[in-house]
Structures are given as C-alpha cells and as structure tokens.
Amino acid sequence: MNSTESTDRYVTTFVFPDDNDSGLCRYTHNVIQFIPGLYSMFFLLGLLGNSLVIWVVVFGTRLRNMTDMCLLNLAIADLLLVCSLPFLAYQAKDQWLFGDAMCKIVLGVYRIVFYSGIFFICLMSIDRYLAIVHAVYAMRARTLFFGRIAAAVTWTAGYLASFPEQRFITLQHDGNFCLSVSTSPEDDTNTHFWTVFSTFKMNILGLFVPLFIMVLCYSQIIWKLLGSHSSRKQTIRLVFLVLAVFFCCWVPYNIASFFKGLELLHIYTECKSSQAIALTLQVTEVIAYSHSCLNPILYVFAGEKFRKQLLRLIYRTPCVLCQAIKVFIPQEIVFGSTYSGSSRVSERTTTV
C-alpha cells in the first residue's frame, strides 16, 4: 500500500491495489453537506452566548478576581473559535476562497484557541478547587493579579501547544485546500513523523491532561461538599454535568484521532477502515465544536449571580432591544434582595 498524507484535517489518500479498478480508496462523506448548516448554527449560538459573557464580565462584575478573569478569557477563546467555523466549513468542503494569508490567520488562530480554550477549562477547575476545598488560602491566591498572570501563562501555553502545526499552514492543490502541511514535500519521512506526532500530541494535551486535572479537582470538590454539614446538591449536579459534557464532546473526537494515528502508523491498512475513520473524524469534530456553545451555559449562566448581573445590565442599557426585553422581566427579580455578604461566596461556588 502506498499513501500520500497531509496533516491538520486528516486528509489522506491511500492507494489499495486490489480495492477497485483505479486502485484508489475513495471517500464519499455525505456528512459534509450538513457541515455548513451545523457550523452556522454553532457560530450564531456561540457568538451570542460568549458575547453576553464578555459583556457581563466586563461591564457587570468588572473583573474582581481570578474567577472573572478565567470566565472572560474562556469566553474570548470560545468566541474566536466559533468565529473560525464559517471559514472551516469552506475548508471541510475543500473550497477555500480566502487566499493564503487568511488561511494562515484562520488556522493559526484556530489552533491557538483550540488548546487555550481547553487549558482555560482546566484553570477553571483549579480555581473552583481552591475556592471550595481551600477557601481560606484561596482568598489570597484567587486575586485579580494572580488571575492575570494565570491567564497570560495559559495563552502562552496554548500558543506553544499549537506547534509544530502552526509553522506548516499553507494552501495546497491550486489554492483549494487550506491545510497544515510540510513545506518540503520531498521529505516524506519528516512530514509523516510530524503528522503522527501532532495527532497523539492532541490526544495528550487535548484530552488526557485536561480530563485528569478535571477529575482530580472535581472529585476533591465533591468529597469536600459531601463531608460538609450543608451539602450543596446543585453544585454537585453541576460538577457531574461539566464532566459529562466535556467527556461527551471531546472523547469521541480524540478516540477517532487516535485511530487516525494508528492508521498513519499503518496498523490499519484496509480501505473500509480508512473510510470509517475519516467519516468518524468529521462527525466527532462537529460534536467537539459544540462545546464552545455550551461553555457559557455550564460555567456562567448556571450561576445565579451572573443571571442577575445580566438582567441588571439589560435594565440599565438604553438600547432598543434591551428596552423591549425589559418589559418581560419583573423588576423585583432584578433589584430585589439578591444576596448578602455571607452568601456571596456561596453563589460564586455554584458556577463550577
């Protein structure tokens, strides 16, 4: 079996001498026709949800501590990712129309925010762990100053994790394919190595490390809450929901990517296996992108304090849309007795 490989979107053409008359393993992915519609829906939902988060955090809570900084940066990362989806829809159909410069910008930003968003979820888990399990120490560690440092480190880690694919982004095949491929096509061994390396690197940094951190932090949170006299059932349910959504969104895509790595190592060499892996990658990738639309709900809208801040901003903003929405919101919900100083920390912990 001979093969020609290109990285980033797992576009691989395998030659199987006994498969058919032409000797090519042909891919017929009917799911491609649904990708533009799904990506458009994710784009609109993610744009709305993450923009609301940024609006409330900046103008409502006004960045008071590490939690606010984490929420803001996670929303920025998710917003940038969903803004790349309309371009990725063209890329999935091999109809790139935006030139080499936009190819480098879109895929470059996508790769950075892909890892940064996952890393900020890890940072949120650590922040929740400190706030609940080590509440006294957290008062000193979870300040806005340390939040800015942690955010800068996280963005830097996301940028570094985007290599080596970052330096290989270019257009291929008469400008129709925006891919991350080696600039030295004659060096097939080097190209193959970085393809396999990038695949398994994503499994480690995009799934195993974040999942380990989340399970470790949230298991300690649950243990702490179960051992307290005032067990918070809502927080525990939210913990399981956060883990379940992350697991459902990212595990299928990483499993498919893992099998793609095995295929690149020539462990799977049959045409049907290659077709199944390629199709599974496209389906699971769509599921993974939906996580950027769910993050605002999981990490922000589930908190009572955020919802009240959002309603207050709607009441105070003199735009036509806000004034129209205000008619349907009872005033006592917005300006009633919200929370005392003793319950402020309690409300913070409900946003896991």
Q: What is the CATH number of domain 29-302?
A: 1.20.1070.10
- How far is CA 204 from each of CA 4, 108, 136, 294, rounded to the nearest angstrom? 25, 20, 33, 23
Distance CA 310, CA 124 (A): 21
Distance CA 123, CA 269 (A): 40
Question: Per-residue pLDDT for 22 more than 50?
Answer: no
Give the per-residue pLDDT at 241.
Answer: 84
Q: Does residue 164 have a cis peptide bond before it, meaning omega lies within 30 degrees of 0?
A: yes
Written as one letter, the residue type at 165 is E
- How far is CA 334 from each of CA 170, 283, 315, 323, 326, rounded to the nearest angstrom? 51, 42, 8, 14, 10
Give the per-residue pLDDT at 188.
Answer: 58
**Could you identify the residue written with the tokens 């008071």?**
64
Paired tokens of 282: 């496209």
Give the per-residue pLDDT at 121.
Answer: 92
For the ranges 132-146, 184-198, 293-307, the lowest mean pLDDT is seen at 184-198
Question: Per-residue pLDDT for 184 more than 90?
Answer: no
Residue-wise pLDDT tens digits, 288-325: 999 999 888 887 766 777 777 877 787 777 776 666 66
Question: Per-residue pLDDT for 347 more than 50?
Answer: no
Written as one letter, the residue type at 108 is G
Give the per-residue pLDDT at 149.
Answer: 94
Beta strand 177-180 pairing with 169-172:
antiparallel
Residues of the chain with CATH 1.20.1070.10: 29-302
Question: Per-residue pLDDT for 41 more than 70?
Answer: yes
Distance CA 206, CA 257 (A): 11
Beta strand 11-15 pairing with 2-6:
antiparallel
Q: Are 43 and 80 in contact (CB under 8 A)?
A: no
- Buried/exposed 269-283: b ≥16 CB within 10 Å, e otherwise: eebebbbebbbbbbb
Distance CA 323, CA 333 (A): 16
Instruction: Identify the three-state secondary structure at position 119.
Output: helix
| Among 136, 140, 135, 131, residue whose Cα is nearest residue 70 | 131
Give the per-residue pLDDT at 324.
Answer: 66
Instruction: Identify the three-state secondary structure at position 14.
Output: strand
Give the per-residue pLDDT at 346.
Answer: 42
Mean pLDDT of the chain: 78
What pTM does this model have? 0.81
Give the per-residue pLDDT at 34.
Answer: 81
User: 209: burial class by Cβ within 10 Å (0-12, 13-18, 19+)?
Assistant: middle
- How far is CA 313 from each of CA 63, 73, 74, 321, 328, rounded to the nearest angstrom? 15, 20, 21, 12, 15
Residue-wise pLDDT tens digits, 244-290: 889 999 999 999 999 988 888 888 777 888 888 888 888 898 899 99
Distance CA 122, CA 100 (A): 33
User: 267: burial class by Cβ within 10 Å (0-12, 13-18, 19+)?
Assistant: exposed
Give the per-residue pLDDT at 266.
Answer: 82
| Among 282, 271, 339, residue whose Cα is nearest residue 26 | 271
Written as one letter, the residue type at 21 is D
Give the per-residue pLDDT at 173.
Answer: 57
Residue 341, Cα to own-chain centre: how many angstroms? 34
What is the percent of the chain with per-residue pLDDT over 90, rounded to a whole number?
26
Residue-wise pLDDT tens digits, 148-177: 999 999 999 999 998 877 777 666 655 566
Give the per-residue pLDDT at 30.
Answer: 60
Question: Per-residue pLDDT for 18 more than 60?
Answer: no
Give the per-residue pLDDT at 11.
Answer: 41
Written as one letter, the residue type at 246 is F
**Confidence bin at 26 (pLDDT 50/70/90):** low
Give the per-residue pLDDT at 113.
Answer: 93
Give the per-residue pLDDT at 119.
Answer: 95
User: 242: burial class by Cβ within 10 Å (0-12, 13-18, 19+)?
Assistant: buried
Q: What is the arithmetic mean of pLDDT over 24-41? A: 74
Give the per-residue pLDDT at 224.
Answer: 86
Give the per-residue pLDDT at 350.
Answer: 44
Residue-wise pLDDT tens digits, 207-250: 999 999 999 999 998 888 887 765 566 777 777 888 888 999 99
Give the per-residue pLDDT at 179.
Answer: 67
Question: Per-residue pLDDT for 14 more than 60?
Answer: no
**Confidence bin at 59 (pLDDT 50/70/90):** confident
Length of the chain: 352
Distance CA 248, CA 242 (A): 10
